[in-house]
Chain A
């Protein structure tokens, strides 16, 4: 905010007023990348300091330990086909949950309930799959997916309804709903007719007509390759994710509704003045948000080997909360969310190799994630910028805005995030007043 009030810097270097679209786009891209990049660098440096101090692998010197840790972290996430497959398995539900959180951020809401909505989606899908085992695959699979999505949407909708029409803060309601869903899900998992008869607290395995095939199996079938389906477990949910990302982008950047929700996120007063129905928007956004997470839960159940649910697993699953980190790191833009979830999913799955080879505690990855969140939200860049020598400062001017700050923070109306070419700037259009509810 201070940047807006400060006098413009470096007036002698002011560029000509109309730069080419590409150059402006690139400059905006650079501006919006700086914050996440700096946060990532800081978090890794802090993680390196932790490894140096704790020195977990005493067979090498601490500095080599750090190098080992980070190289295995990266090779373990993307270094081989096997790692890539494992990373994608993590990334698929993470991306969907992050889209869920991102769309709510855009509207100025904090959807902390991604974990519960995911659990609802998975549980409902499992219930349907186990109850209708005789249905043919082409009927059962879409039904389960739609039902899972709807379950997540309902949970999100409850929080949205309470927020829109009763003013209940969505952070509280979504977290509470999380726990309601977890406990109800546990109860369902442990009860007949879903629980396995073998005495373990898990559901029965889904029949083959309810399972999604893995990419390796499909490729073996169609292209006569010989991929090991045990090792390469990433499944066709990947295509669902790609479609969901496109849908998200279309929704946010190309529809009226998307425009409305962005305005609500930036400045509710302006939205009301423009005739945008705020309550309805909030309600619908929470429904959509819940739908994304519910879809994630259903797809994870149907695509990953095991094909069943274990009691208490959902309450310990970090996906819902990682999604918040991803959405923040990615600045809630589509590209940002995709890249950040690839990054964070990679971190998570790379930690296995980091443990195995470099003997670093798996919790270090959690430390790095937490630090990432910290550095993203703590806005160190203006402070650093103040101390940079003159030649490093440019007249980029203000920091890029996270499009959906909560309404309490003053909206920064200037400068937009990069969100696909041609996204409309945040102009407020005075629409027909009769539209306002």
Chain B
């Protein structure tokens, strides 16, 4: 009868569901637990709060998380990872507060969080904080010194200089060694917004390109966007068609991928930013990318966690001294660099970059932080 079979169907459905619960519930959890720490004192628990974009954004979030996981593998503290979903002070504050409740130290990723992390740090004076690419700020966005907030700044101009040197040298070499050049001795840069890290990248790029090739033209555009590739590819298209730029440096995060794609489409060269962008997320190669200006946010995250862990019970220790005298992550401490150049780059360009790298490490060469005219 129909009703009986309906009964049976419902009953068997419920049985299957409960079997699923039981089976999953009794799965052995032993192998998955984090090992108890071998150190005698409990490690400082560190949490990170990412900006929007998720953990696999190919940029800051992903590499900061990478550094975090490396530190976690070394120090064995429980993981506390929170992802922001909206760009708003309220959201950042909520996530940072939740992280501060769970961890002894919280790392915030990105300059968007500066105001929020300053407020939260004041609220939790006995917890430590660190911001990647930012500092504690006052109402006018001037950096202030809070004793529990460590600013993690980078010398992006050094990375920009290295890739600028490569670009300049390629322009000097001409089509003989770099066949995709257009011959107008013009290179381009596309920035996300005119914020200090972006400006530093472009400043170093222009400065060192002109150092190597004094007559080079450098065209700069801003998309006012860090997420939408079409915005940046539109600017890249214009730099190619109107200015005849043939090496495009993207400084626009996710939007800048559009620059790389535009360069591929037009058969010219491009330079990635923050991480090695020569391959896309599926592993396929991006033909136009010759190198990338690298910002080792994973190194920064790892280093600051190490400092905090080594602090121990000392009143002043590596973390505190860093807070009072922050060094900037640059070439000398593996904070910035440039990605392995592709085979399209002639050897003398690479050699030029290495030479300038040595000069910067020794202090002989200091690229500016603002864009030279």
Interface of A toward B, CB cutoff 8 Å: 45, 49, 52-53, 55, 58-63, 86, 89, 186, 190, 196, 198-201, 205, 228, 230-231, 233, 304-306, 310-313, 316-318, 349, 352-353, 355-357, 359, 361-362, 386-387, 389-390
Let me know if A356 and B34 touch, CB within 8 A.
Answer: no
Which residues of chain A are within 8 angstroms of B99 by Cβ–Cβ distance?
356
CB within 8 Å for A49 and B20 given contacts A61-B29, A310-B87, A356-B102? yes
Interface of B toward A, CB cutoff 8 Å: 3, 6-7, 9-10, 17, 20-21, 24-29, 32-34, 47, 52, 78-83, 85-90, 93-95, 97-99, 101-102, 111-112, 115, 119, 122-123, 139-141, 193-196, 224-225, 227
Interchain nearest-CB distance for B196 vs A (Å): 7
CB within 8 Å for A62 and B24 given contacts A313-B86, A387-B7? yes
Closest to B90 in A: A304
Let me know if A59 and B34 touch, CB within 8 A.
Answer: yes
Let me know if A355 and B25 touch, CB within 8 A.
Answer: no
Which residues of chain B are within 8 angstroms of A198 by Cβ–Cβ distance?
140-141
Closest to A389 in B: B7
How distant is the Cα of A312 from the Cα of B52 in the complex, in angstroms? 12
Known: A62-B24, A200-B112, A311-B224. 20 other contacts (CB 8 A): A59-B34, A61-B27, A62-B29, A63-B25, A190-B224, A199-B141, A200-B193, A201-B193, A305-B93, A306-B88, A312-B87, A317-B86, A353-B98, A355-B81, A356-B80, A356-B99, A356-B102, A387-B3, A387-B10, A390-B3
Which residues of chain A are within 8 angstroms of B101 by Cβ–Cβ distance?
356
Which residues of chain B are within 8 angstroms of A304 by Cβ–Cβ distance?
88-90
Which residues of chain A are within 8 angstroms of B47 by Cβ–Cβ distance?
356
A-B residue pairs, 5 tightest by C-beta: A58-B32, A63-B25, A306-B89, A387-B6, A198-B141
Closest to B29 in A: A61
Let me know if A386 and B88 touch, CB within 8 A.
Answer: no
How distant is the Cα of A359 from the Cα of B94 in the complex, in angstroms? 16
Which residues of chain A are within 8 angstroms of B83 by Cβ–Cβ distance?
355, 361-362
Closest to B55 in A: A361
CB within 8 Å for A355 and B82 given contacts A59-B34, A306-B88? yes
Count chain B CB atoms within 10 A of each CB in A52, A233, A349, A387 and give the residue with the most.
A387
How distant is the Cα of A390 from the Cα of B1 in the complex, in angstroms? 14
Which residues of chain A are within 8 angstroms of B78 by Cβ–Cβ distance?
59
Interchain nearest-CB distance for A305 vs B (Å): 6
Interchain nearest-CB distance for A206 vs B (Å): 13
CB within 8 Å for A199 and B86 given contacts A190-B224, A387-B7? no
Which of B7, B85, B141, B224 sits near A362, CB closer than 8 Å?
Answer: B85
Interchain nearest-CB distance for A114 vs B (Å): 16
Which of A199, A317, A353 sits near B194, CB closer than 8 Å?
Answer: A199
Which residues of chain A are within 8 angstroms of B20 by Cβ–Cβ distance?
49, 52
15 of the cross-chain contacts (CB-CB < 8 Å) are: A52-B21, A52-B24, A61-B28, A63-B21, A198-B140, A198-B141, A305-B89, A310-B88, A316-B85, A316-B87, A349-B94, A352-B98, A356-B102, A359-B79, A387-B9
Which residues of chain B are within 8 angstroms of A89 by Cβ–Cβ distance?
90
Which residues of chain A are within 8 angstroms of B27 by Cβ–Cβ distance?
61-62
Which residues of chain B are within 8 angstroms of A349 by Cβ–Cβ distance?
94
Let me know if B196 and A199 touch, CB within 8 A.
Answer: yes
Which residues of chain B are within 8 angstroms of A196 by Cβ–Cβ distance?
141
CB within 8 Å for A200 and B141 given contacts A312-B227, A356-B80? yes
CB within 8 Å for A305 and B10 given contacts A311-B224, A353-B98? no
Interchain nearest-CB distance for B183 vs A (Å): 36
How distant is the Cα of A252 from the Cα of B24 in the complex, in angstroms? 49
Closest to B192 in A: A201
Which residues of chain B are within 8 angstroms of A58 by Cβ–Cβ distance?
29, 32-34
Let me know if B10 and A352 touch, CB within 8 A.
Answer: no
Let me know if A201 and B224 touch, CB within 8 A.
Answer: yes
Closest to B195 in A: A199
Which of B52, B82, B88, B111 sits near A352, CB closer than 8 Å?
Answer: B82
CB within 8 Å for A312 and B89 given contacts A355-B81, A356-B99, A359-B81? no
How distant is the Cα of A62 from the Cα of B25 in the complex, in angstroms? 6
How distant is the Cα of A386 from the Cα of B47 in the complex, in angstroms? 51
Count chain A CB atoms within 10 A of each CB in B24, B27, B81, B111 and give the residue with the most.
B24
Interchain nearest-CB distance for A109 vs B (Å): 28
